[in-house]
Amino acid sequence: MPRSVSIHALDPNTPVIVGVGQSSERLTDDDYRGLCESDLASRAVEAALADTGVVAPAVAAEIDTVVAVRTFEQSTPMSSSPLGRPDNMPRAVAKRIGMDPEHAVLGVTGGQSPQSLLTEFAGEIVAGRRSAAMIFGAEVMSTVRHLMSTTTERDRPDFTEQVGGQLEDRGFAIAGLTTHQEAKHGLLSPVAQYAVLENARRHRVGLPRGRYTETMGELFAPMSEVAAANPHAAAPTVRSASELATVSEANRVVADPFTRFMVARDQVNQAAATLVMSVRVARQLGIDPSQWVFLHGHADTRERPLMQRPDLSRGPAAAAAVQHALAVAQIGLDDVAHLDIYSCFPIAVSNVIDPLGIDADDPRGLTLTGGLPFFGGPGNNYSMHAIAEAVDRCRGERDSFALVAANGGILSKTSVGIYSTRPTAWSPDDSSGVQEVLDAAPRVQTSDYADGPATIEGFTVMPGRDGSRTGIVIGRLDSGRRFIATVATDDESMFELLATDDPVGADIYVRSSAKGNRVFTDRASMLRHHPPVAPTFRSSYEHVEVRRDGHLLEVTINRPEARNALHPAANAELDEIFDAYFADADLWVAILTGAGDKAFSAGNDLAQTTGAGLEIPGNGFAGLTSRRSMPKPVIAAVNGFALGGGCEIAMACHIVVADERATFGLPEVRVGLAALAGGLVRLPAAVGGALARDMILTGRRLDAAEALAAGLISRIAPPGEVMDLARTVAAEVLAASPTSVRESLRAMDTAAAIPDEIEAIEATSAAMDSLLVSQDTIEGITAFVAKRPPRWTGR
């Protein structure tokens, strides 16, 4: 039975929704004014105050907390506000209403925010920490785009506003929503990400391409009917299932399988607000209890990052949130009369209704507003409109239940609320038990650099206006590791495969590079696009100098104007050079240094590196830091600064010698980065945990003497003589058996991976098998007995 109590027996701190409001304007409206976010939001707040049925100033005076849903213009570190914005959005709106609340909050990014914030502050009210909270959000993306495209900079309005005052800005909270793998391969936009998941679902349900497209149209067509009757809808036009599914000039494919009419419409001017307060305050203000709406059930769940999910076609956290919210409300799904399922893309809806057994043509309908493609998707604030509609439905149909399911990210965060005018006590449930179960599911391991046979798990092709195509694939290697890859623009065979009825599950071949992974229909196709090239040295390089001297190779990073910092082109050259070094049987030792006397390398050249340094060879920075096998010694001759990636390169080398003026450090934390090219692993091993943590967390630098004492380097040279010292060390190595040197390196690498000391020692004995059949071993023993210098062959 649904949980219910007498309205007279309610705890005075029980939270109740007493007012909701919406506002909007379209470019085509006769009274269109081009309002800024604060003005449009103020209209929604005023409507929510009026909805209480009490004089607005009296209600406003009791509101101690104002909470703004974060706008799209503030949703990521890279977003911007081309027309400006308030420095304190919550207080900018409060100021317009005449409120001076004690607390102002700016929520995090995500479409789950309206419901999540309402649940949170309802809990704050029942705990006695708040009395009344006005929660609102607004987007004027349509106005901004219109003004940016139709007016000159001189004629554009300035929405900048200096309000000041207390503000709890909670930041973006988008960690895990986008990975470096997705960024590197261009899988960043929600339409592309959801399209990949949608195609994975199409494969799972086993429908042909055409029929699946029809089902998406059938799912969304009824929503357009609801939108057509909603005065706040951005696109109030009834569209048939066939119209939604049919490609036309007005309904182009934006990302296979989505047409334009099937995706969230974000170019809107819409705002909504909800006022929640304690029963005590509501009674004091004289708000009619018939206006009160209670939050009977609530739940908040999180899905793991897209690339780690066991099944790309499913996001179980969403249905789990709905089921838990129903359990908290002590009702069943059949008890719910009104539904609003977040509908940014078809799979966002089917991901909820499929596991719950809700039909696409459920007579209750799946939206209260008209859905995001038709009503509109006002950034993170859509579900505030759904809540406003849910409250109105519950008031119009006493004791009925309404369910709002809000989605954030890429099926990443779900917040659910269940509403009714039926009085109820507050449930403090926090969904932690449900989340524990979700978190216990297995995680898929990923591969940044994928090579070899694979199968397709999900994909999309995005056509450009100029006739170009962008193909993105998520696949699995035979090892089970998941990867992202792109399709070469001229690879017709791969695009033909992706255009077949069901390419998911098809065998493909993947090849990695510094620019990212690339997929092909098979290995033969990969070889046609990338014929194998033996690792050899060029006659010259643009950013690196190379010198051979017998068995010695000297490599100099030649970018002194940038303190020998590395950009993608320099990294690519170094990777190629070291490939050639390790493949050349006549080269036994290499020295790496930097041009000039100022720097060995200052690390990553951020000024010339796009994608935040994502274009790194598979072998790592300088072709060394992630190289799995370095069978011949590399000596780092550090002639100045070795900072960030430069320090990591040095640590990747077998021997490090330094000019006495050299400096070592990992300053990444000072520019918002981290030493992810091996520094976080190698530095603690080299200098010990205490000093390493000091250096990594503060950016502290060591001079040459400190580095020697700490064990980071092995020798120090007088000023200007580090290359002489490096050559001396190289000569000492060359005086030894190259076969013994190589086997010693291999044995040390093997032993390093074995924690048990005795087992590690036993593992190194395998080197003797190679040495027993080596010409160098025989020569070494013979020369020793004959008391003459050995003549090494390297064999």
Phi-psi group of 132: left, alpha or beta (phi > 0 → left; psi -120 to 50 → alpha; rest → beta)? beta
Least confident of 317-321, 679-683, 724-728, 749-753: 749-753
Residue/partner pairs of 440-446 with CB below 8 Å, 24 or more apart: 441/304, 441/310, 441/316, 442/310, 443/304, 443/308, 443/310, 444/307, 444/308, 444/309, 444/310, 444/480, 444/481, 444/482, 445/480, 445/481, 445/482, 446/181, 446/307, 446/308, 446/481, 446/482, 446/483
* pLDDT at residue 756, as a whole number: 77
Residue 611 reports pLDDT greater than 60: no
- CA neighbor of 13 nearest in space, from 133, 131, 168, 115: 131
Residue 8 is given by DSSP the state G
| H or E element at residue 15 | strand 15-24
The chain-wide mean pLDDT, for the chain, equals 94
C-alpha–C-alpha distance, residues 226 and 365, integer Å: 9
C-alpha–C-alpha distance, residues 261 and 374, integer Å: 8
C-alpha–C-alpha distance, residues 111 and 104, integer Å: 20
Other residues' Cβ atoms within 10 Å of the Cβ of residue 259: 23
Strand order in the sheet with 269-278: 15-24, 269-278, 132-140, 65-68, 103-106, 168-169
Give residues with Cβ within 8 angstroms of 421, minimum separation 6.
290, 292, 293, 294, 394, 395, 398, 399, 400
Give me the numbers of helices (H) and strands (E) for the chain, helices first please: 26, 27
Q: What is the largest CA-CA distance in the chain?
A: 110
Q: Are 686 and 711 in contact (CB under 8 A)?
A: yes
**Exposed, middle or buried by CB within 10 Å (0-12, 13-18, 19+), for 23?**
buried
**Full 3-state SS string of 414-459:** EEEEEEECCCCCCCCCCCHHHHHHHHCCCCCCECCCCCEEEEEEEE
C-alpha–C-alpha distance, residues 415 and 106, integer Å: 18
**Full 3-state SS string of 381-412:** HHHHHHHHHHHHHHHHCCCCEEEEEEEECCCC
Q: Distance from CA of residue 472 to its chain's centroid?
A: 16
- CA neighbor of 291 nearest in space, from 375, 394, 213, 436: 394
Tokens representing residue 643 in the block: 């900072």
Which residues on adjacent β-strands are paired with residue 265? none
- CA neighbor of 47 nearest in space, from 97, 107, 116, 118: 97
Tell me the pLDDT band of 612, cut-offs 50, 70 and 90: very low
ω into 190 cis (within 30 of 0): no
Q: Is 66 helix (H, G, I), strand (E, B) or coil?
A: strand
Residue 74 reports pLDDT greater than 70: yes
Other residues' Cβ atoms within 10 Å of the Cβ of residue 117: 26
Least confident of 264-273, 543-552, 744-753: 744-753
pLDDT in tens, 487-504: 999 999 999 999 999 999
C-alpha–C-alpha distance, residues 20 and 389, integer Å: 9
pTM score > 0.75 for this model?
yes
Q: Is 740 helix (H, G, I), strand (E, B) or coil?
A: helix
Residue 344 reports pLDDT greater than 90: yes
C-alpha–C-alpha distance, residues 275 and 99, integer Å: 14
Average the pLDDT over 426-438 and give the result.
95
Give residues with Cβ within 8 angstroms of 661, minimum separation 6.
640, 703, 704, 719
pLDDT in tens, 738-760: 888 888 888 888 888 888 778 77
Q: Label the pairing between strands 469-477 and 482-487.
A: antiparallel
* pLDDT at residue 1, as a whole number: 58
* pLDDT at residue 787, as a whole number: 83
Residue 613 reports pLDDT greater than 90: no
**Alpha-carbon distances, residue 23 vs 66, 226, 270, 384, 531 (angstroms):** 18, 17, 6, 12, 60
| H or E element at residue 557 | strand 552-557
Tell me the pLDDT band of 2, cut-offs 50, 70 and 90: low
| H or E element at residue 757 | helix 757-764
Q: Is 281 helix (H, G, I), strand (E, B) or coil?
A: helix
pLDDT in tens, 215-249: 999 999 999 999 999 999 999 999 999 999 999 99
**Exposed, middle or buried by CB within 10 Å (0-12, 13-18, 19+), for 85?**
buried
* pLDDT at residue 129, as a whole number: 97
Q: Are 354 and 321 in contact (CB under 8 A)?
A: no
For the chain, percent of residues with pLDDT exceeding 90: 86
Other residues' Cβ atoms within 10 Å of the Cβ of residue 398: 10
**Alpha-carbon distances, residue 293 vs 276, 387, 422, 578 (angstroms):** 9, 11, 7, 69
For helices 209-228 and 190-205, the axis angle rounded to 10 degrees is 120
Tell me the pLDDT band of 6, cut-offs 50, 70 and 90: confident
* pLDDT at residue 665, as a whole number: 96
Q: Is 207 helix (H, G, I), strand (E, B) or coil?
A: coil
C-alpha–C-alpha distance, residues 134 and 276, integer Å: 7
User: Which segments within 336-395 are labelled E, that is strand?
Assistant: 336-341
Q: Which positions are annotated as active-site residues?
A: 648, 668
C-alpha–C-alpha distance, residues 378 and 113, integer Å: 12
* pLDDT at residue 4, as a whole number: 72
